[in-house]
């Protein structure tokens, strides 16, 4: 029996010239990297903008919680706003801001100010002391990049420790005419805003969140960087007047005769 030579597998597919797999070349990889880099550079500003918008929302939410706490405080304290050592005659119905630029202080330095009946807690700090707003994070803006983030004071937010605590929100303490009775103020009178202490303490780049007496939180666009320039140019002697003047920009129009 004659055996034939092994038959080749005629049915096995053979790669055609057009069907061959093509490997990536170095040029392909470099072009791909360049395109990806270009897309990332285009998208980054949008991503940063979205993140800042989210931070503004968190900031305004915290400010609203402070406003609710402030109203509860007023209900329990003859309609009066929290007192502050930075206000002149803060025990009466009317007061004048002595150092309004420092009223983002939650607890004062015991070496500079004598303790009161509530210790060193001051201004918005009384909301924490009396448990109206007891979460420390509420007093800090997620956009803050200055020297006073929550992490700096985290371990001091208790009733056993002492020492100055600075927040990221500025408390006005009085209405436009010096009134300390919350319910005698207009709903559009500004009460709390992002910190005005220094240029480094301004939380946002192009404006500020502002809490009004009526509990609305509004975004104030800093047109032509008016507020930014005011904070940058003020001196130690002009800080109080400049800050007081800035507050009037946030009020809902000129105040009529009472």
Question: Mean pLDDT per segment of 10 residues, for the chain of length 258 residues?
Answer: 50 54 70 74 65 87 96 95 89 86 96 92 97 96 93 93 95 93 93 92 91 94 87 86 91 50
- DSSP line for 6-64: PPP-TTS----GGG---PPPHHHHHHHHHHHHHHHHHHHHHHHHHHHHHHHHHHHHHHH
Q: What is the pTM of this model?
A: 0.78
Lookup: tokens for 143: 């956009």
Query: Residue 177 pairs with which residues in a beta bridge?
Result: none
What is the model's pLDDT at position 180? 93
List CB contacts of 67: < 8 A, sequence separation 6 or more. 191, 192, 211, 215, 217
Relative orientation angle of helices 239-250 and 226-233, to the nearest 10 degrees: 170
Domain ranges of the chain: 36-250
- DSSP string over 108-164: --TTTS--BTTBTB-TTHHHHHTTSS--GGGGS-TT--SS--HHHHGGG-SSS--S-
DSSP code, position 192: E
């Amino acid at each position: 029996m004659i055996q034939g030579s092994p038959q080749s597998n005629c049915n096995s597919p053979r790669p055609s010239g057009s069907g061959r797999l093509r490997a990536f070349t170095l040029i392909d990889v470099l072009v791909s990297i360049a395109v990806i880099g270009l897309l990332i550079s285009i998208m980054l500003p949008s991503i940063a903008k979205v993140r800042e918008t989210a931070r503004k929302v968190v900031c305004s939410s915290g400010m609203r919680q402070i406003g609710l706490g402030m109203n509860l405080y007023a209900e329990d304290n003859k309609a009066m706003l929290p007192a502050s050592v930075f206000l002149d005659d803060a025990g009466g119905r009317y007061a004048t801001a002595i150092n309004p630029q420092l009223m983002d202080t939650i607890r004062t330095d015991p070496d500079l100010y004598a303790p009161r009946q509530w210790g060193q807690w001051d201004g918005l700090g009384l909301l924490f002391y009396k448990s109206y707003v007891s979460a420390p994070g509420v007093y800090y803006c997620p956009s803050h990049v200055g020297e006073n983030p929550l992490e700096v004071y985290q371990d001091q937010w208790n009733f056993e420790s002492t020492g100055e605590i600075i927040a990221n929100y500025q408390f006005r303490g009085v209405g436009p005419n010096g009134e300390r009775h919350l319910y005698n103020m207009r709903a559009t009178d500004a009460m709390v805003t992002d910190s005005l202490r220094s240029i480094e303490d301004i939380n946002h780049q192009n404006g500020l969140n502002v809490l009004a007496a009526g509990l609305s939180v509004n975004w104030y666009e800093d047109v032509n960087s008016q507020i930014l320039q005011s904070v940058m140019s003020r001196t130690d002697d002009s800080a109080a007047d400049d800050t007081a003047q800035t507050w009037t920009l946030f009020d809902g129009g000129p105040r009529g005769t009472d």
